Amino acid sequence: MRGLIFNIQKFSINDGPGIRTTVFLKGCPLSCLWCHNPEGISSEKQLIVIKNRCISCGKCIEVCPDNLGNSSIFHQSHNKCKVCGECVKFCPTEARQIVGTKIEDEQLTREILKDRIFFDDDGGVTFSGGEPLKQFDFLISVLEILQRNCIHTAIDTCGYAHPDIVRSVAKVANLFLFDLKFISSQKHKLYTGIPNDIILENLLLLNAIHKNIWLRIPVIEGINTDESEIEKIARFIAPLNSIKQINLLPYHEIGISKAIRIEDDKRVNKYVSPSYETLDRIKEILKTSGKVVNIGG
């Protein structure tokens, strides 16, 4: 079984309990305008260019098998680019890179198990993305191997998947880090590209069949910080006893430089990080749900 990943982050402390290894799977059904991993949205390999490393030596033009000309210096935007990687091999400054690596399930688990000594009692592995549920067969295969090795596993998910997939993953994952951005389906579609009916239904499903959910709410000033939206979230999750805590994740700008590298213009727009006052206000509203609320994590 093979999957497509774009990063393995060692010694992660913000993707679940303890010290963790986070595996980022490529491909996501959502297209959030503030996404901090825009290189994880596409389900295909992508060529990126770190332009400030480029010395315009022209080597990429020389080795391009499709003779794409000057457009090859910068990006794959030329529609004939096959992302073959020849220009990456010969780039002297590593300005050109390919995002996305095919990997077998057993190969990935061997890499993960190298970090086992750091996991201690509460650490483990988190699968993020992109959206890990989008590569369901690969994810399940890796989870089952890790389960046999007694490794704690967490799934960082937007919740958009067929209910049968959610049920299957719930049987072998120890923790769900469930992203919730809006209750309003109209707002969710405006900023992510799809409505959230399935997402809310899957959160209710998980609450019924799984006992360990951490709700994660990305907070973007002026987008989902109005009190009415936060109050709707608080009311919706109040009866959901499987939600053990809520983590507020302030927007940060790391995704902008990544969006530039893949020429994703619509995600180059700069959003605003919420103030401490805004975060504290949201925290107090969400505490009315009876849940533990943390800023960050």
Q: Is the pLDDT of residue 236 over 90?
A: yes
What is the domain count for the chain?
2
- Read off φ and ψ for residue 8, nearest 5 degrees: -125, 115
User: What one-character DSSP code corresponds to residue 132?
Assistant: G
Same domain, 55 and 161: no
**What CATH number is attached to the domain comprising 178?**
3.20.20.70
Same domain, 63 and 123: no
Same domain, 226 and 244: yes
- pTM equals 0.92
Same domain, 214 and 161: yes
Same domain, 95 and 213: no
Same domain, 76 and 131: no
Place of tokens 């093979």: 2
Partners of 7 in the beta sheet?
Answer: 24
Same domain, 197 and 75: no
Q: DSSP alpha helices (H): ranges in 47-196?
A: 59-63, 71-74, 86-90, 105-113, 116-119, 136-148, 163-170, 185-192
Same domain, 24 and 133: yes
**What CATH number is attached to the domain comprising 87?**
3.30.70.20
- Look up the domain containing 235 and give its range: 2-43+100-295
Please say which residue of 34, 68, 99 terminates a domain: 99
The amino acid that residue 226 corresponds to is D
Same domain, 90 and 194: no
Q: CA torsion, points 10, 14, 15, 19, in degrees to nearest 10?
A: 50
Same domain, 20 and 52: no
Per-residue model confidence as pLDDT tens digits over 127-176? 999 999 999 999 999 999 999 999 999 999 999 999 999 999 999 999 99
Same domain, 223 and 172: yes
Q: d(Cα 202, Cα 206) in Å, to the nearest integer?
A: 6
Q: Is the pLDDT of residue 74 over 80?
A: no
Among 269, 190, 263, 262, smallest CA distance to 224 is for: 190
Section 56-84 average pLDDT: 72
Same domain, 136 and 277: yes
Per-residue model confidence as pLDDT tens digits over 175-230? 999 999 999 999 999 999 999 999 999 999 999 999 999 999 999 999 999 999 99
